[in-house]
Each structure stands twice: as C-alpha cells, then as structure tokens.
C-alpha cells in the first residue's frame, strides 16, 4: 500500500525548513521589540468555543472545521484560527487581573480548515498572530497594524498594501443590518444558498460572498460607512491619525468586512501587490473584537489582533524574487581514511561540536574522493583530513575551501585555528 501526505497538507523538507526557522526567529525578535509575549494553546478546543466566538454563520464554522467526538462523547475541534483559544485562555487564566494591561500576546502554530487547496493555502497551515486584550485605545490598533507590517518589511517584502475599514459598534451594525436586509430581500433568489440562509441573521456576510461577488447588488449595497455613529466615526479617525503619525500608508475600503463574525470597529487586511503573487492577494487580516471575552463569561476586555499565514509570506517573498541568506553552510567536514582515523575523527567531531563548530563526517565508509564531494555539496567552509600518519602524529590536515590552502595543524590547536578562519 502506498501512503501519501494527506490532501491539503505538505511535508516541509530540510531544504525549506531553514526558511521557516528564519521567519520564526524574525517573528520572535519583532514581538520582543513590541513587548508581545508568546502564548501556546492546545491544538483542539471544545467545538462550542468556535461556534460561539467565530460565528455559526461563517464559512469557517459551517464548512471548514475538523470536528470529532472524543471518548468522553464531547465534541472537539482542531483549531481553525487562533483568536478564540487565546481569548478563552485570557478569561480562564484570569489574565484580566494582570497589573500590566493590555495583555499583549502572540502565537505561532498549525491551524486546520477543510477548504479547497490553492497556492499558499492548505488544510493544515501555520499561522502567526498577535492579540492585544484589555485596551480600547485607538493607538493600540495602530500598533498592532504596525507590528504586522514590520514583520513583512523586515522579511524583505516591499510590494504591500494596507486596506482598512471601520465596522462600527453594535448600534451601527444593527442599523446597517436592517438596511442590508431591505436591500437584498427583494432579490435574494438571485443569490447562492449560503447568502439566502444568512439574509436575516448576518446579511453582512453576503458582501463577502465568493460565489456572488460579481452581483451588481453587492456593489450597490448600503455602505457601513453611512451608518457609523459619531463615536465610531471618531474612533476610526483616531486610528487613521495614528497611522498617519507613523507614516503608514493605507487605503480606506468601505467594502472590507472580514470573514469572521467577531470583528467590530477597526478591520484591516495587508495585501501583496506583486504581479506574480496570484489572484488571492491577502497576506494578513485582523481587527478589533470588543465583547468577545464577555461572550464566554469573562469581564469587559476589548481586544484587537491579526493573523498571518507563514506559507503566504514565503510565497510573497518568492513572487518578489526575495530570499533569506542561507546560513546553514557547514563549518567543518571531517574526512577519514581507515578505521583508526575514523575513531579519531569521531572523537574530534565531539570536541568541535562542544566548541560550537558545525561539523559532520562520512558514515558510509566511502573513499576520499567521494567524501570530498560530500564536503562540496554541504558547502563546507573547511575540510579536515585524518589518515594513519595524522593519527600517529596527533595532527590533522586542514584545508580552507575558500582559497584551497592546506596546512598541518596540531590537534590541540585545531579549535583555536578554526575559530580564526571561520570568523573571517
């Protein structure tokens, strides 16, 4: 029987994992600079958590979740997104009692959604996200957006566009909802079954429908911007002012609604404008979610966050022709000739690695020529050759692969000698 990787997933091989490690290191550095601390939540949660917080009318909950019944007859779901688990932890672990507010958190890990595989989109994908919970200050909205852009720019991306909108507060959305229902209801038979089912409960989702995106009624639908009350409009203006102060370019898009029900006030997306990136341009999305903590029994704790796909970040780098520097070159490859030299070489490997020198050797009993070819393939900076004579004299032959120079070095002086070569 032939086993294959499950549809919608991928094996990330050593030739690619170093890029992921670069991104993860960059994320950690940026989050440390902004004082966001890492949180790690379980891979699965109670299904009701996502139904309640993400929204029962969303595609995520209705179509994309991996849900199973455990041995205790409880319904569990592999996490499709990161905000709900973080908010659950915030409430359960009483982080609202921390003296320093807002609580600023970040996570990096696999998420799971049963959706059609496309370029950069998988059924198991890795998401980086941040959540700032406990502040209703427009300045924290701007900070969260700045952090997301900072990650992309430090990774090397330049073809970026920030799109932003205000979804208003509960009062605004209630008025807008009535207007949308009145707008779509006379023609709802023209729309897909999902839109029909959402008309009364969540007509805002119709604006984000992929099936009916070209329907003229969507383009002519009442704009949420026309229903913003004074408080919501003032809040949005303050967010934009802070973005202006930070010299962050943006485009206000009144049609941006995002795909999850919990957003209110600020909503934003960061897109790739690179010509070679593809039809789906969104790299990152986020927004404010006041009221989420209260929905699961917590105190009032306004929050804002975003999530970005690591797969799509790497895809955007490729589209722009950018790449990370590969620093995985080997420092030393140890070539041994004969059994006695092999034992001496293995002992030497331990000493080199203890000194922090990246080193390797042959484990297939190959001849010297084949071992030297391996050193070249591994891009080794230096090669050490040990034969019977070298073992007897307690020396090694050290070859600098950059200039092909070679010299005899006493074993006890080798680490110091290597450090001098490798630092150049």
Q: Can you give the pLDDT at residue 214?
A: 79
- Phi and psi at residue 215, to the nearest 5°: -65, 130
Residue 346 lies in a domain: yes
Q: Which residue has the tokens 């998420």?
A: 111
Q: Is 110 left (phi over 0), alpha (psi -120 to 50) or beta?
A: beta
Task: Measure CA 58 to chain center.
Answer: 22
Residue 162 lies in a domain: yes
Sheet containing 75-78: which strands, arranged edge to edge? 44-46, 75-78, 67-69
Do residues 394 and 363 lie in contact, with contact meaning Cβ atoms separated by under 8 Å?
no
Do residues 27 and 106 lie in contact, with contact meaning Cβ atoms separated by under 8 Å?
yes
What contacts 423, CB < 8 A, 6 or more positions away? none
What contacts 247, CB < 8 A, 6 or more positions away? none
Q: What is the CA radius of gyration of the chain?
A: 28
Report residue 77 as tokens: 């779901």
Per the structure, the complete domain to which residue 82 belongs is given by 14-169+229-319
Residues 300 and 357 occupy one common structural domain: no
Residues 397 and 265 occupy one common structural domain: no
Burial level of 316, CB count in 10 A (0-12/13-18/19+)?
buried
The secondary structure of the chain in percent helix, strand, coil, rounded to multiples of 5, reads 40, 20, 35
Report residue 21 as tokens: 């490690």
Residues 282 and 351 occupy one common structural domain: no
Residues 243 and 301 occupy one common structural domain: yes
Residues 277 and 347 occupy one common structural domain: no
Residues 243 and 370 occupy one common structural domain: no
Q: Can you give the pLDDT at residue 260?
A: 64
CATH of residue 411's domain is 3.40.50.800
Residue 140 lies in a domain: yes
Residues 345 and 311 occupy one common structural domain: no
- Whether omega before 102 lies within 30 degrees of 0, making that bond cis, reads yes
Residue 182's nearest CA partner among 207, 201, 200, 166 is: 200
Residue 34 lies in a domain: yes
Residues 43 and 154 occupy one common structural domain: yes
Residues 301 and 348 occupy one common structural domain: no
Following DSSP, what letter does each residue of 307-339 receive, concatenated?
EEEHHHHHHHHHHTT---------SEEEEE-SH
Residues 53 and 131 occupy one common structural domain: yes
Q: Can you give the pLDDT at residue 280?
A: 76
Residues 283 and 340 occupy one common structural domain: no
Domain count for the chain, please give it. Answer: 2
Over residues 162-211, the pLDDT tens digits come to 999 998 888 888 888 888 888 888 888 888 888 888 877 778 778 777 78
Q: Can you list the residues of the chain whose pLDDT is less than 50?
A: none
CATH of residue 148's domain is 3.30.930.10
Residues 262 and 293 occupy one common structural domain: yes
Domain boundary among 264, 286, 319: 319
Rounded Cα distance, 347 and 352, in Å: 9
Rounded Cα distance, 50 and 83, in Å: 10
Residue 377 lies in a domain: yes
Q: Can you give the pLDDT at residue 261?
A: 66
């Amino acid at each position: 029987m032939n086993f294959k990787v499950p549809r919608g997933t991928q094996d990330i091989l050593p030739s690619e994992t170093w890029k992921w490690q670069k991104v993860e290191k960059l994320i950690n550095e940026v989050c440390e600079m902004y004082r966001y601390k890492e949180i790690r939540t379980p891979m699965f949660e109670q299904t009701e958590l996502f139904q309640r917080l993400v929204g029962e009318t969303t595609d995520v909950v209705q179509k994309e979740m991996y849900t199973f019944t455990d041995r205790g007859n409880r319904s569990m779901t592999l996490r499709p997104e990161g905000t709900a688990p973080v908010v659950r932890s915030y409430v359960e672990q009483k982080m609202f009692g921390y003296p320093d507010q807002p609580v600023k958190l970040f996570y990096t890990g696999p998420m799971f959604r049963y959706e059609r595989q496309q370029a950069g989109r998988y059924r198991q994908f890795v998401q980086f996200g941040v959540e700032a919970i406990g502040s209703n200050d427009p300045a924290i909205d701007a900070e969260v957006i700045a952090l997301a852009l900072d990650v992309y720019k430090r990774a090397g991306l330049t073809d970026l566009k920030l799109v932003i909108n205000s979804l208003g507060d509960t009062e605004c959305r209630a008025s807008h909802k009535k207007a949308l229902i009145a707008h779509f209801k006379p023609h709802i038979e023209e729309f897909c079954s999902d839109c029909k089912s959402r008309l009364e409960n969540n007509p805002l989702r119709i604006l984000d429908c992929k099936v009916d995106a070209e329907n003229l009624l969507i383009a002519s639908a009442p704009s949420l911007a026309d229903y913003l009350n004074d408080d919501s409009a003032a809040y949005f203006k303050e967010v934009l002012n802070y973005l202006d102060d930070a010299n962050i370019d943006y485009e206000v898009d009144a049609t941006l609604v995002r795909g999850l029900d919990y957003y209110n006030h600020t909503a934003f997306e960061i897109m790739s404008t690179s010509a070679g990136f593809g039809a789906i341009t969104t790299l990152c999305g986020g927004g404010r979610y006041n009221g989420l903590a209260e929905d699961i029994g917590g105190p009032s704790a306004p929050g804002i966050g975003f999530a970005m796909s690591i797969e799509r970040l790497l895809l955007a780098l490729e589209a722009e022709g950018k790449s990370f520097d590969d620093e995985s070159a080997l420092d030393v490859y140890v070539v041994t000739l004969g059994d006695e030299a092999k034992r001496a070489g293995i002992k030497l490997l331990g000493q080199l690695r203890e000194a922090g020198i990246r080193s390797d050797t042959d484990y297939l009993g190959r001849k010297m020529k084949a071992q030297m070819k391996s050193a070249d393939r591994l891009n080794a900076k230096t090669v050490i050759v040990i034969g019977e004579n070298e073992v007897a004299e307690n020396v090694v032959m050290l070859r600098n692969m950059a200039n092909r120079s070679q010299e005899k070095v006493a074993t006890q002086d080798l680490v110091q000698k290597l450090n001098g070569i490798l630092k150049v």
